[in-house]
Structure 1
Amino acid sequence: MNERNKNSEFTHIKSVLKGYVRETSKNAAGGLMHVIEVWENVIDKTISENSRPDALRNGVLILKVLSPAWSQQILYLKKNLIRMINSGLDTEIVNDIRCRITSHF
């Protein structure tokens, strides 16, 4: 009968999953999960409350925004947002940002 090695120290599942998601999203095509994490931590709270990353395809980040005014604001800040996201990712994943207007998240 096989004996299992018992770990005397426990690791919380949240930290295990967070590390797993971070590593797999870095390696996965696009890495949307990692972009979402950076978006929530790096982008100004007012912007992040009114927009959400929805998709990442071929370097283009698609954001859901709550109004046409927020779409214009995001596009006005696009270069700075791209720079902030990529610096949070430590790699150049995002090359462009496009907005999709929605009534809710």
Structure 2
Amino acid sequence: MVVLAWQLYEEGKLLEAVDPELEEYPPEVIIKYMKVAFFCTQATASRRPMMSQVVDMLSRNVKLNEKQLTPPGFFQDSGGTSGEPSDKKSNESSTTYQMSSVPVSITQLTPR
């Protein structure tokens, strides 16, 4: 969902992410809330606002500096576990996950 919302943001179509069942809403408020959500999901923790800043952004008329926005960080399964091990002595399988653009490998050992 975050990926789709970010894609719509980049295309200038952020309101298309709103549930069509939601009949009445002020578009500028929805867009503001979604942009604050993007700030909260930045890939680098140091780029995310503190909770007090989030409260200010949501409750006051604060101008958001969209130039600081970068694509959000998200957890994506990039292929699942590997197939059967090629070496019969090793019952080891690996799973690779990707958090934003930083690859992470997790190795799971299983007893014989």
Interval containing the TM-score (normalised by the shorter chain): under 0.3
TM-score normalized by structure 2? 0.26
Larger RCO: 1 or 2 (CA < 8 Å, sep 6+): 1
Structure of larger gyration radius: 2
**Greater helix percent: which structure?**
1
TM-score normalized by structure 1? 0.27
